[in-house]
Amino acid sequence: MSAEHTISLADLRAKQPRFQGLTAGHRACLGCGQALAARLVTEAAGPDVAVANATGCLEVFTTPYPESSWRLPWLHSVFGNAGAVAAGMEAAYKKQGKSTKVIAMAGDGGTFDIGFQALSGMLERGHNVLYVCYDNEAYMNTGVQRSGSTPHAATTTTSPAGAARMGKRHMKKDIVTIIAAHRIPYAATASVAYVSDLRRKVRHALEVDGPSFLHIHAPCPLGWGHEGAATIEVARLAVQTGLFPLIELERGELTAVMPIRQPRPVRDYLALQNRFRHLFSQDPRAQVELEHLQALADHNIEVYGLLGENADAQDSEGADTVQRGGVRWA
Amino acid sequence: MRLALEGSQALARAVALCRPQVVAAYPITPQTHIVENIAKLVADGRLDCDFVSVESEHSAASVALGAACAGSRAYTASSSQGILLMSEVLYDIAGLRVPMVMTCANRAVSAPLSIWNDHQDAMALRDSGWIQLYCADNQEAIDTTIQAFRLAESLELPVMVCVDGFALTHTLEGLELPSQEAVDAFLPPYRFSRALDSTQPLSIGTLVSPDHFTEARASHHHALLQGLSQIVALDAAWQQITGRACGGLVEVRGEPEAKIGILTLGSVLGTLEDAMETYAEVPRARLIKLRAFRPFPAEALRQACAGLDTLIVFERAFSPGGGGIVATEVKAALYGQAMPRVVSFAAGLGGRDIPLDAYPRLIEAAAEDGGDFRFFDLKPDQLPEGGF
């Protein structure tokens, strides 16, 4: 561990989140990536925050009336309007002279698809809102239907693999590029596997004056077909293969990436999940799809310059991993 | 202050007098002049408000919802397709019992495409849980808008103020604009009991199981019914301040003792009043103005209709395959007492003019045998060859 990364226990404790915006006792599935991500986001954001939540798992598992897991003011309206509801809250607080930050929260369906227009409008108008997309790559709340975020070749209940199909025919929408093209002050991707990186991005996004966007990769054990205990491993492999690059963009320009120390083959990531099981069959098309997905990962590594040259405490193997010298307390 | 104002301009001024903090809107004919005028009042520094010019009506309603929940007085306006696009959110606003005011500049709904006035848009939102008040003229539009904010906030229910597109929104006339002092005296500052406050966190919009859903809906229904007396009380309170009332729930005009009545909503009332003077030789009718459509004033209607032999329901919308929307409800309200003969007309659809001579023709047509539901001024020569 290098000197610049040492920290006293007292400092470490001081930096631990003491505020939980989303408390335990909710009804998320075992190993739910979204529940973890939402807890991390609210911990990092602190108490002077109000949440606009789109319809989806998060809304359902946290608020079975008359119970609620939220210790933050929280408003759920409908599926496709989280960006607009957040914009209205922000306009009101601004007019009232309040410091409360507004965070919109939605899944990939509420962001890539049905809430996309409201999100785009909110960004264009420059509302001081952090929009967090928890991306589990399908409509999980309704039973695993394909969304604009579902990766190519993944099987879902509406993009099933069969004799005539190898799962989803279309590509995953490149949402962060589209969002960044709004030239907002800050857009970033994060993963539940890289906790301190995620927290840092939340804090940075909230310091920005204007709209910010955080796209968090959040595995769904039920929808992806992996063990609940494997959530972090699966999420980490998505980053380490290059399939889900961790990047930051300011005013549309790429400003930072998390380097990948040793890129892993996409097979390692895909083989853990039943949604890609058909890619490991004897079907000759399976090999083609595997090669295709590997090419997508290689492309990400190339265009974002993800390949680290030296061991780095903040790369894909160092970050959040104390044993490897990561910056756990960041 | 008496001013010559276009209806939309007057509405914008009335909204500004209510000091909204957030106005969200998306342009649609014939609502545009209202929100353009509000935007200008904001730009000129005459209204301290965040005017959020959104990318759809769905977002207009959503921004207003977010703002109202965060503790600011909110307003929006729309018409026609816009009302339908925001309908999902309008149901949500009402179900969450969030107070706000919206102007519906009434317009026909596609297809066929029409930018002109009828009431199909607001009628489509009949069951959304919003209070619906219809305005007979622009003075009522001003006064009802101001009353609507207090009504919404006292009941924690949203209020839709329905104003005929073009017939009212685009008509210039002399109007009495209340003073800021008068409005401030009538309308206290906005305070939402469940405002989203980070020092006192609340969850709004939770998932409700069958164990609680019926009770939530029944509470909403009950709140709307409580609105019946509140609508009357606030109209009376406004009259105390300004000397003007808008007719409470139901207003009887024309000849109160007449045995033939015409029940209608909105600006056609003025046409019928004028027509009764122009066509003095035609027997005068009892004109019944339905101001509150939701909550539905069944008891007030029964009183207004007492002693009638014939009741013509003259409305600018209908339910295809069903018939008159208001007529059906009026019949239900009158059921069980001495019923007049009810004749239901859909009229003025898609902006078709309702001229003064509609009055004698309507009286004549109602006397004829033609079924319970008819289209007024239907032009047989414009139907496809061979008729229906």
Shared domain for B144 and B119, answered yes or no, is yes
Range of the domain at B145: 2-242
What residues contact residue A296 under an 8 Å CB cut-off, 6+ apart? A152, A243, A266
Which residue, B242, B262, B294, sits at the end of a domain?
B242
Residue B178 domain flag: yes
**Interatomic CA distance for residues B92 and A330, integer angstroms:** 41
What pLDDT is recorded for position B102? 98
Amino acid A21: pLDDT: 94
Calculate the CA A292 to chain-centre distance: 23
> How confident is the model over A240-298, as pLDDT tens digits?
999 999 999 999 999 999 999 999 999 999 999 999 999 999 999 999 999 999 999 99
Predicted confidence band of residue A12 (pLDDT cuts 50, 70, 90): low
pLDDT beyond 90 at A8: no
Mean pLDDT for chain B?
Answer: 97
pLDDT of residue A308: 87
Determine, for residues A83 and B64 on separate chains, whether the beta-carbon distance falls below 8 Å: no
Which ipTM value was assigned to this complex?
0.97
User: What pTM was computed for the model?
Assistant: 0.95
* HEC-encoded secondary structure of chain A: CCHHHCCCHHHHHHHCCCCCCECCCCCCCCCCHHHHHHHHHHHHHCCCEEEEECCCHHHHHHCECCCCCECCCEEECCCCCHHHHHHHHHHHHHHHCCCCEEEEEEEHHHHHHCCHHHHHHHHHCCCCEEEEEEECCCECCCCCECCCCCCCCCCECCECEECCEECCCCCCCCHHHHHHCCCCCEEEEEECCCHHHHHHHHHHHHHCCCCEEEEEECCCHHHHCCCHHHHHHHHHHHHHCCCCCCEEEECCEEEEECCECCCCCHHHHHCCCHHHHHHHCCCHHHHHHHHHHHHHHHHHHHHCCCECCCCCCCCCCCCCCHHHCCCCCC
Mean pLDDT, chain A, rounded, equals 93
Q: Is residue B16 part of a domain?
A: yes
Give the CATH number for residue B314.
3.40.50.920
User: Given CB atoms, is A73 within the 8 Å cutoff of chain B?
Assistant: yes
Domain membership flag for residue B367: yes
Beta bridge partners of A247: A257
Question: Per residue in B295-306, pLDDT tens?
Answer: 999 999 999 999
Helix axes B210-242, B87-95, angle to 10 degrees: 90
Is B388 within a domain? no
The answer on B271 and B200 residing in a single domain is: no
Output the pLDDT for position B371: 85
Pairwise CA distance, residues B58 & A130, whole Å: 20
Judge whether B387 lies within some domain: no
Tens digits of residue pLDDT in B80-93? 999 999 999 999 99
State which of B196, B224, B242 marks the end of a domain: B242
Chain B: nearest CA to A22, how far in angstroms?
12
Does a structural domain hold residue B348?
Answer: yes
Q: pLDDT-based confidence at A315, cuts 50/70/90?
A: confident
Tokens of B46: 């005459």
- The pLDDT of residue A309 is 83
Rounded CA-CA distance B357/B343 in Å is 19
Q: What pLDDT does residue B348 have?
A: 98
Taking a contact as any Cβ pair under 8 Å apart, which residues of chain B between 199 and 258 contact chain A?
Answer: 200-209, 212
| B320 shares its domain with B205 | no
- B247 in any annotated domain: no
For residue B72, the chain A residues in CB contact (below 8 A) are: 91-92, 95-96
**Given an 8 Å threshold on Cβ–Cβ distance, is B58 in contact with A84?**
yes
Looking at the fold, whether B237 and B266 belong to one and the same domain comes out as no
B135 neighbors B141 (Cβ within 8 angstroms): yes
| pLDDT mean over A17-33 | 91
A20 touches B: beta carbon within 8 Å? no
The domains of chain A, with CATH numbers, are 3-324 (3.40.50.970)
In this structure, are B279 and B197 located in the same domain? Answer: no
Please give the Cα distance from A148 to A278 (Å, whole number).
21
Q: Do B201 and A87 touch (CB under 8 A)?
A: no
Q: Exposed, middle or buried: residue B284 (CB in 10 Å: 0-12, 13-18, 19+)?
A: middle
- Whole-number Cα distances in Å, B52 to A121, A183, B23, B294, B374: 10, 20, 6, 28, 43
Q: What is the mean pLDDT of residues B228-233?
A: 98
Please indicate, yes or no, whether residues B20 and B135 belong to a single structural domain of this protein. Answer: yes
Residue B50 predicted with pLDDT over 90: yes
Same domain, B49 and B155: yes
Above pLDDT 70, what percent of chain B?
Answer: 100
Mean pLDDT score, B150-167: 98
Contact between chains at B205 and A59 (C-beta distance less than 8 A): yes
The average pLDDT across A87-102 equals: 98
State the pLDDT confidence band at A320, using cuts at 50, 70 and 90.
Answer: low
Q: Which of B23, B52, B92, B198 to mutate to test the interface with A (most CBs of A within 10 A)?
A: B198
State whether A78 and B202 contact (CB < 8 Å): no
In 3D space, the residue among B372, B303, B363 whose CA is nearest the CA of residue B341 turns out to be B372
Alpha-carbon distances, residue A11 vs A8, A47, A198, A200 (angstroms): 5, 21, 19, 16
Q: For B244-282, how does the pLDDT look when each residue is reduced to its tens digit (9 = 90+)?
A: 999 999 999 999 999 999 999 999 999 999 999 999 999
Q: Does B63 sit within 8 Å of A75, measured CB to CB? A: no
Out of B72, B201, B209, the one facing A71 most closely (by C-beta) is B201
pLDDT over 90 for what percent of chain A?
A: 86
Instruction: Show residues of chain B in contact with A73, CB under 8 Å.
Output: 196-198, 200-202
pLDDT band of A2, cuts 50, 70, 90: very low
The CATH code of the domain that includes B112 is 3.40.50.970
Q: What total number of domains does chain B contain? A: 2
Whether pLDDT at A4 is above 60: no
- B141-156 average pLDDT score: 98
Interface test with B, best of A81, A101, A105 (most B CBs within 10 A): A81
Place of tokens 């190339």: A302
B209 and B302 together in one domain? no
**Is residue A161 less than 8 Å (CB to CB) from chain B?**
no
B196 shares contact with chain A (CB less than 8 Å) = yes
Label residue B126 exposed, middle or buried (CB < 10 Å: 0-12, 13-18, 19+).
middle
Chain B touched by A26 (CB under 8 Å): no
Q: Which of B242, B264, B282 is the last residue of a domain?
A: B242
A73·B198 Cβ contact <8 A = yes
Give chain B positions within 8 Å (CB) of A60: 207
Same structural domain, B188 and B321: no
Residue B18 and residue B51 share a domain: yes
Within this chain, do residues B234 and B259 fall inside the same structural domain, yes or no? no
- Residue B152's pLDDT band, with cuts at 50, 70 and 90, is very high
Same domain, B238 and B257: no
- Which residue(s) pair with B175 in the sheet? B3
Which of these, A181, A204, A244, lies nearest to A33 by C-alpha position?
Answer: A244
Nearest to B17, CA basis, from B154, B167, B144 = B144
pLDDT, tens only, A133-178: 999 999 999 999 999 999 999 999 999 999 999 999 999 999 999 9
Interface A–B counts its CB contacts (< 8 A) at 158
